[in-house]
Amino acid sequence: MTAWVELALGSQEKTFDQLASAVAALPSFAEVEAVRARAVLQELESDARGWCLWIETQDGAGTLHAVEILAPVLPGLTRCRKFARPAPGDVSATLDELADSGHALSALKGIALDAGPARESRRVEWRIGDVLATLAAQDDERPTLCLSAPGDDEIVLDTVFRLAREAVDAAPFSLLAVGDESPEASEVHASKIDLPLESTAREAFVTIAASIAMHWFGNDAAARHALEVERVHQLRVAQRRLKTLLKLFPDDVDAVWNETIAPELKWFGDLLGDARDWDVFTDTTLPAYAEADAGGPSWQAVIDAADARRHAARTRLAHALHAKRYARLSLAFVEWLARIGMRPDEAPVALADFAKKRIRKNYRKIVNVPDLTTLDVRTRHRVRIHAKRLRYALEFLRSLTTRQTRGDTAKKLSRLQTVLGEGNDAAVAAERLSALPEASDYQRGFARAWAAVSEHKDAEEGERILRSIEKPRLKKTGAHE
């Protein structure tokens, strides 16, 4: 059965008819007939993992659609297998008939279905070579442009992403987000990753990167509506996890990444970092100064000044999230990851061997350092970075590690990262405060003294934690816990 590639773009800025006109004017679409249609769609919920089911009724005739989603799942991009069958009556009976028609459909046999509400969908379709481009909108939902083509190789990706870039450059489209886009939606956090023990290093890289992408873009849509503190934090954490992954798997970093994606990620990451740093400085650091300096001069003017700069940083980040530059970055990242997943692995490396080597290397970078109290701030910060990389590596490769490593070792690494981070944050905060015109000389001196005390205290505590961290261990081949 032929696999399909589908790329979905969304827009929040134009009406359906405005977008239809904009798409029709694109060079690749201008000479192609636009076919308009309306249909009623009814989603069918089931416990069949990896399947999407729905009934489509058009001109009085119903069709059962069954789509199997193939791994890895990437934001906006789906690899899938499609099946359809006329559904004149009993949907369950029709599904059983479909399940009996091929081995690949056996998972659908006899499953319980829960029909959702019927929703009207209007659409415009363009056929461009093998690509079916469909602009659709259901009820009051925002329109989506889906680019769908049969095939499962880089040639198909070439065509689909070329059309996507054309649409993004000329109309207000962006990669369709995977998370809840309402401002009150809960933040999406990093998910646990379970890698099969028999995986290759390449397979592990693609799986982990896909998980990080879902973390990133799971917070993307809601962030466009409201940049709350934790939303900014999670976006930044996703970027840091991605950066650590690339350090862990350097062989998968190619010229496309270095020349096309890395510079744009640095642009976006710098904006995220600035917004996050002002959040911490305004909400945590300055109130701590004020509480510790009870009876001293008021800190409110400084807090208000920092808050104004925090909002300015958020405004810059919000503009970036709505910019075409960010939309192009999103497309480039997903395309790059999809291509890596499709390419043959000509020199596969067993994940167990790879993990043993990389974890040992990262562990040595922290355990072999001199006493932390003898190091300067910059060098201690490097130790913190190495501890963070080791912690993330253990999170990524958790299914290969022992229970002791997943528990005690990971917790101590997290604590070490936090303690050393507090000392570094205090030093950075003192520098940030010194640059605020609203701060008095007294307050600048207070921050420098705070940083000096914090650095010494945190270095001592960090040293204690560091020497208690045991060597991470991997499961023996074939062992299960």
3-class SS string, the chain: CCCEEEEEEECCCCCHHHHHHHHHCCHHHHCCCCEEEEEEEEEEECCCCCEEEEEEEECCEEEEEEEEEEEEEECCEEEEEEEEEECCCCHHHHHHHHHCCCHHHHHHCCCCCEEEEEEEEEEEEEEECCEEEEEEEECCCCCEEEEEEECCCHHHHHHHHHHHHHHHHHCCCEECCCCCCCCCCCCCCCCCCCCCCCCEHHHHHHHHHHHHHHHHHHCHHHHHHCCCHHHHHHHHHHHHHHHHHHHHCHHHCCHHHHHHHHHHHHHHHHHHHHHHHHHHHHHHHHHHHHHHCCCCCCCHHHHHHHHHHHHHHHHHHHHHHCCHHHHHHHHHHHHHHHHHHHCCCCCCCEHHHHHHHHHHHHHHHHHCCCCHHHCCHHHHHHHHHHHHHHHHHHHHCHHHECHHHHHHHHHHHHHHHHHHHHHHHHHHHHHHHHCCCCCCHHHHHHHHHHHHHHHHHHHHHHHHHHHHCCCCCECCCCCCC
- Residue 127: both structure tokens together: 């056929």
Strands 131-138, 114-128: pairing is: antiparallel
pLDDT of 312 strictly over 70? yes
Is pLDDT above 80 for 480?
A: no
- pLDDT of 14 reads 85
What would the pLDDT profile of 130-155 be if each residue is shown by its tens digit? 999 999 998 778 899 999 999 988 99
Average of pLDDT values for 171-197? 86
pLDDT at 26 (0 to 100): 96
Q: What is the pLDDT of residues 31-51, one digit of tens each?
A: 999 999 999 999 999 999 999
Q: Answer whether residue 10 shows pLDDT above 80.
A: yes
Report the alpha-carbon distance of residue 389 to residue 392 in Å, rounded: 5
Q: Could you tell me the pLDDT band of residue 1, with boundaries at 50, 70 and 90?
A: low
For 397-455, what is each residue's pLDDT tens digit? 999 999 999 999 999 999 999 999 998 889 899 999 999 999 999 999 999 999 999 99
Q: What is the pLDDT at residue 283?
A: 96
Cβ contact 116:42 at 8 Å: yes
Residue 58's pLDDT is what? 93
Span 280-304, average pLDDT: 93
Q: For the domain bounded by 4-104+119-175, which CATH number is listed?
A: 2.40.320.10
What pLDDT does residue 481 have?
55
Predicted confidence (pLDDT) per residue in 107-138, tens digit = 899 999 999 999 999 999 999 999 999 999 98
Quickly state the pLDDT bin for 477 (edges 50, 70, 90): low
Under the banding of pLDDT at 50, 70 and 90, the label for residue 478 is low
Parse the chain into domains and list their residue ranges: 4-104+119-175, 201-468
Query: Would you state the pLDDT for residue 412?
Result: 96
Q: What is the mean pLDDT of residues 230-254?
A: 96
CATH number (3.40.50.10260, 2.60.120.10, 1.10.3720.10, 1.40.20.10) of 201-468 reads 1.40.20.10
